[in-house]
Amino acid sequence: MLIAGVVIETLPGRAPQVALRLTSRAGVRVEGGDGDRRLAVVVSAPSGGELERWAEELVRDDEAVLGVFPTYVGEDGGQ
């Protein structure tokens, strides 16, 4: 499982609304935000491809989201 930290950039003033919508998504945890246009989010995805697809879909489907910027990628390997 891939675990990534991302910053989501939104339209000004729309970060709280986007955060609310994100909380209903599986594998997504909102860690904080600036209350205006940026959110810090942790995302879990089965692969890098899935993570990229998630980011692409978010930008495409949520008109308030301007961009998704990874800040960290780690892998929770099997044991």
Partner 1 sequence: MTTFSRRSFLEASAAASALAALGGMPGVRQAMAATVAGGEKWVKSVCRYCGTGCGLFIGVKDGKVFAVKGDKDNHNAGFLCLKGFLLPQILTAPDRCLHPLVRKEGKLVRASWEEAMSLVASKFKEAIEKHGPDSVAFYGSGQGLTEETYCANKLFKAGIRTNNVEGNPRLCMASAVAGYVTTYGKDEPMGLYEDIDHADVILLIGSNTAEAHPIVFQRVVRRKETGRGVKVIVLDPRFTPTSRIADLHISFTPGNDLAILNAMAHVLVKEGMVDEGFIAKHVAFGEGTEVNKGFEDYKAFLAEYTPEKAAAIAGCRPEDIVTAARWFGERGKAATSMWTMGLNQRTKGVWANNLVHNLHLITGKIGTPGNTPFSLTGQPNACGGVRDGGALSHLLPYGRLVANDVHRAEMEKLWGVPEGTLKPKPGLSTVDMFRALEAGDIKCMYIMCTNPGQSLPNVNRYRKAMERADAFVVVAEAFHPTRTSELADVVLPAALWAEKEGVYGCAERRYQLLEQAIPPAGEARPDFAILCDLAARLGHGKLLPFKTPADVWAEILTICKGTVYDFSGMTRERLKEAHGLLWPLPTQGHPGTKRRYVKGDDPMVPADHPDRILFYGRPDKKAVVWLRPQRPPEEVPDTEFPFFLTTGREIEHWHTATMTRNCKELANTNLESMAQLHPNDAKKLGVRAGQSVRLTSRRGSQVFRVKVTDNSKEGVVFIHMHDPDRMCNVLTIDAVDPVSRQPEFKVCGVRVEKA
Positions in the binding site for partner 1 (CB under 8 A) = 1-7, 29, 31-34, 38-44, 47-48, 52, 55, 68-79
Q: Which is nearer to partner 1, 21 or 38 (CB)?
A: 38
To the nearest whole angstrom, how small is the minimum distance from the Cβ of residue 36 to partner 1? 10
Q: Which is nearer to partner 1, 18 or 33 (CB)?
A: 33
Measured torsion, CA atoms of residues 45, 46, 48, 49, in degrees rounded to the nearest 10: -100
